[in-house]
A = this chain, B = another copy of it.
Amino acid sequence: MYSRWNLARNLRRFYEHGRYAHKFYSQALVGINQLETPIRPQALYDRQVSCGLHDVSYQAHHNRSFRSVEDPFSLVADELSLIAKNLREQVAEEVQNKAPKLASAAKYFFERAEGKKFRPTVLLLMASALNMPIPQSTAEEVFDTLSEGLRARQQAIAKITEMIHVASLLHDDVLDDADKRRGIESLNLVMGNKLSVLAGDFLLSKACMALADLKNTEVVSLIAKVVENLVTGETMQMTSTSEQRRSMEYYLEKTYCKTASLISNSCKSVAILAGQTAEVAMLAYDYGRNLGLAYQLTDDILDFTGNKDVLGKGVLSDIRHGIVTAPILYAIEEFPQLGEIVDQGFDDPANVDLALEYLGKSRGIERARQLAEEHATRAKEAIEALPDSDDEDVLRSRSALIDLTDRAIRRTK
C-alpha cells in the first residue's frame, strides 16, 4: 500500500498532468499553494471516485477533533492489500505477453491511485457485518468450511466492483472530436481514446468472467444492472436538456445511476452470496444506496466550499463544467433568476460569480447538507435494523459501517 507521502506526491503529479488540468481556470489554482503538503484537496480526484474518506482516516490519525471509534479502514486494511495485489495480477495475466500496453493501461488506475479503496472497504465490512448463521443452516462444521469459500466469493465482489468502476472511468475519458480542437495533441488523443476503449473493454470482460465464476445468476443480474446504470448516468450528464438540468428529480436519478448504484447493488450482492434473506439483502442495499447519495451530496457541497467551509473557496469544478448540483438546484427554488443563469451556461466566468452570489444568499448549501444528513441517517438505520448478533467481529464491523456514514458527511475535503 502506498505510504501517504508517496500518495501525496503521485497526486500532485496527477493534478499537474491530470485529466482536468487543461480545464482548470487560474482561479482554481489560487489557494493551492496555501495547502499544506500532506493535504490532498478532494476535488483533485475524479468526481466519481470516492476519496475523501481516506483523507478522513488520515486526519483521524493526526488527532483532529473527530468522533472516531476504531478506524473503520484498519479493520480490513490487510485484507484489502492482498486483494489489491491479487487484482493487479489477475488483470495482467494472459495479457502481459500479448499486449503489454493494454496491461499497463488497465492497471493504470489500480497502481497509480490506490488510495481510493472506499468501495472495497465498505464491501468487506458489509461481508463481516453479515457474517452470522443463516436460518436453517446446516451443522457448524459445514458452516465453517463454507465460510472460507464465502469470504473469497465476497472478496471477488470487491474485485469485480473495482474493475467495473475503473472500466467506467476509462470509458468516460473517451473524448469526442470536438475536444480534439481544444489544443490537445491529436496523436495522443487518438491513441488515448483507443487504449481507453480497449482497456475498459478488457476490464469489463474480466469482470464478466469473474462474475460468471460466482455461479449466481441473481448477482450477475445485479451487477449487469450496475453497468447499465453507470452508462445511463454518464449519458444523462452528457446529454441533458436545460429543463432536465434544472430538475432535482433528474439530478437525484443521475446521481443514483453514477454513484450509488454500484455500491448499493454490490452490498446487496455480498448479502445474497452470504445466503441472507431478501429482507437483509434489501437492508444491505439501502445502506449502500444512502451512503452513496450522502457521499455525493457532500462532494457537491465541498466543490463550492472547500475545506475551509467558506463559500466560493472550493475548486468550483462542477459549476465550471456546467454540472448543476444539489446546492444550486435548491437555490434556484428561491431565486428563479439563477435558473436563467444556469440556462446560459458557465463558459462566462461572470456567470460563475453571479451563481455564487445567489447561492450565498440562498439556503442552498444548508438544504443540501440536510439532505446528505437524512441519507446518512437512513444508512445508519439500515445497519441498526440488521438481525442481532453477539459476535464481536460482526458488531465491530457494523460500528465501522455506521462510522463511515458520519465520516462521509462530516469530512471537510
Contact residues in B for A44 (Cβ distance below 8 Å)? none
Determine if B212 and A215 form an interchain contact, defined as CB atoms under 8 angstroms apart: no
Chief secondary structure at chain A's binding surface: helix
Contact residues in B for A171 (Cβ distance below 8 Å)? 194, 197-198, 201
Any chain B CB within 8 A of the CB of A202?
yes
Decide yes or no: A195 and B238 within 8 Å by CB, A220-B208, A221-B212, A221-B213 being known contacts.
yes
* Shortest Cβ gap from A239 to chain B (Å): 4
A192: nearest chain-B partner, CB-CB:
B176
Any chain B CB within 8 A of the CB of A362?
no
Any chain B CB within 8 A of the CB of A231?
yes
Interface string of A218-246 (1 = CB under 8 A from B): 10110111011011101110110000000
Decide yes or no: A224 and B238 within 8 Å by CB, A231-B102, A231-B198 being known contacts.
no
Q: How far is B172's CA from A231's CA once the two chains are assembled, in angstroms?
A: 18
Q: How far is B213's CA from A224's CA once the two chains are assembled, in angstroms?
A: 10
Q: How far is B224's CA from A107's CA once the two chains are assembled, in angstroms?
A: 19
Contact residues in B for A232 (Cβ distance below 8 Å)? 94-95, 98-99, 102, 202, 205
Determine if B174 and A202 form an interchain contact, defined as CB atoms under 8 angstroms apart: no
For A177, give its contact among B193, B212, B230 (CB under 8 Å): B193
Interface string of A247-277 (1 = CB under 8 A from B): 0000001000000000000000000000000
Contact residues in B for A211 (Cβ distance below 8 Å)? 208, 220, 224
Determine if A227 and B239 form an interchain contact, defined as CB atoms under 8 angstroms apart: no
Contact residues in B for A214 (Cβ distance below 8 Å)? 217
Determine if B208 and A193 form an interchain contact, defined as CB atoms under 8 angstroms apart: no
Contacting residues of chain A (166-209) with chain B, CB-CB under 8 angstroms: 168, 171-172, 174-178, 190, 192-195, 197-198, 200-202, 204-206, 208-209
Determine if A194 and B224 form an interchain contact, defined as CB atoms under 8 angstroms apart: no
* Shortest Cβ gap from A159 to chain B (Å): 15
Contact residues in B for A192 (Cβ distance below 8 Å)? 176-178
Determine if B235 and A102 form an interchain contact, defined as CB atoms under 8 angstroms apart: yes
A176: nearest chain-B partner, CB-CB:
B192
Interface string of A344-376 (1 = CB under 8 A from B): 000000000000000000000000000000000
Residue total for A at the interface (Cβ-Cβ under 8 A): 54
Q: How far is B206's CA from A218's CA once the two chains are assembled, in angstroms?
A: 14
Determine if B235 and A208 form an interchain contact, defined as CB atoms under 8 angstroms apart: no
Any chain B CB within 8 A of the CB of A101?
yes
Decide yes or no: A235 and B193 within 8 Å by CB, A209-B225, A211-B220 being known contacts.
no
Determine if B215 and A227 form an interchain contact, defined as CB atoms under 8 angstroms apart: no
Interface string of A154-174 (1 = CB under 8 A from B): 000000000000001001101
A170: nearest chain-B partner, CB-CB:
B197
Q: How far is B215's CA from A232's CA once the two chains are assembled, in angstroms?
A: 23
Contact residues in B for A98 (Cβ distance below 8 Å)? 232, 235-236, 239, 253
Quick one: which of A95, A98, A213, A216 has the most chain B CB within 10 A? Answer: A98
Decide yes or no: A197 and B174 within 8 Å by CB, A102-B235, A225-B205, A228-B205 being known contacts.
yes
Q: How far is B171's CA from A197's CA once the two chains are assembled, in angstroms?
A: 7
Q: How far is B195's CA from A236's CA once the two chains are assembled, in angstroms?
A: 11
List 3 tightest A-B contacts by C-beta distance, closest first. Answer: A208-B224, A205-B227, A212-B221
A-B contact pairs, 10 of them (CB 8 A): A171-B197, A174-B197, A176-B193, A198-B234, A201-B204, A201-B227, A201-B230, A209-B221, A212-B218, A220-B220
